[in-house]
Homo-oligomer: A and B are copies of this chain.
Amino acid sequence: MPEVVTIGETMILFSPTCTGSLQYVNYFQKQVGGAESNFAIGIVRLGHTAGWISKVGDDPFGKYLVSFIRGEGVDTSRVRVDNEAPTAVYFKEFHEMRNPKVYYYRAGSAASRMRPEDLDEDYMSKAKILHITGITPALSTSAKETVYKSIEIARKHNLTISFDPNIRKKLWSEEECRNTILDIAGKVDIIMPGIEEARFLLGEGSPEDYCRKFLGMGIKTVAMKMGKDGCVVAEKDIIQRVHGRVIDNIVDPVGAGDGFDAGFITGILNGWDIIECAKLANDVGAFVVTVNGDVEGLPTMEEVMEFRGERNVVDR
């Protein structure tokens, strides 16, 4: 039984073979992307066990998703197949002059049809950590209910709950988004928002203000991502900035946050203090952005150590 369980939708990602408007891209590469499975793969690569709970369509894309994630060593025994809805797909668009954009084809997808009854309480009860994101409640009413049900199960069995707001304005109204995310935040142990997400949720303020507000909501641990400026972590008695190595050549920023989460939670599983957790989180995020794809760049602990150490030049 895995140490970490997570719930969410994973999609087939079509990545353009060149930058610029998709209008002019001729070929796309099939990859796999989904915040929660990205996170689960990250956890496994860093040495722990993870289970991913989801639903996929009865189609070759659903088969590929599950094969890929199972291949990575994530437990997929609780992924269900829905015969009446497709596996979602999405497209990335990279442009030097603006942030990457994504185009979703996920409305009515198999994963959006997850229901509370799909959860296996016995399976979840044996884990140490439940990781959820703010994407799943945006997918559908039943998906939202599934998230709340998972929180209920986790609390009943004393799992630590970690939460990444992962705000997707394309999926719901700003108001519903803010209300739901804040409501869920009130029920979790660890929150790992981006600084812009904190601003959206809590209004203008400093990183330290946001940390204090989240702690004030009863959350025990805050790890707030600040892009190239690293992160700010906070617990009862401490609020601290932790810088990471700046990466000049960012190939694909998507997935960095999921890698950060996987690094941070791996530290928690290892019993580290939050500063150490943050350092690992920063490093994992750095690895992710240097490789095309959401998960292809996720490092092993050995790779992180090699990266931190001296480079051995005479070794070919």
Contact = CB atoms under 8 A, between A and B. Distances in A.
Contacts of A67: 23, 71-73
Contacts of A249: 96
Contacts of A315: 99, 169-170
Contact of A314 (B197, B292, B299): B197
Given A61-B22, A103-B59, A108-B107, A311 B27 contact: no
Interface string A81-119: 000001001000101111111111101100000000000
Interface residues of A, number: 74
A291 interface: yes
Nearest to A306: B98
A30 interface: yes
B23 A63 contact: yes
Interface string A281-301: 000001100111100110100
Interface string A13-28: 0100111111111111
Nearest to A19: B291
A157 interface: no
A180 to B, nearest CB: 15
Nearest to A59: B103
Nearest to A245: B97
Contacts of A316: 100-102, 168-170, 254
5 contacts: A27-B30, A86-B105, A96-B247, A98-B306, A254-B316
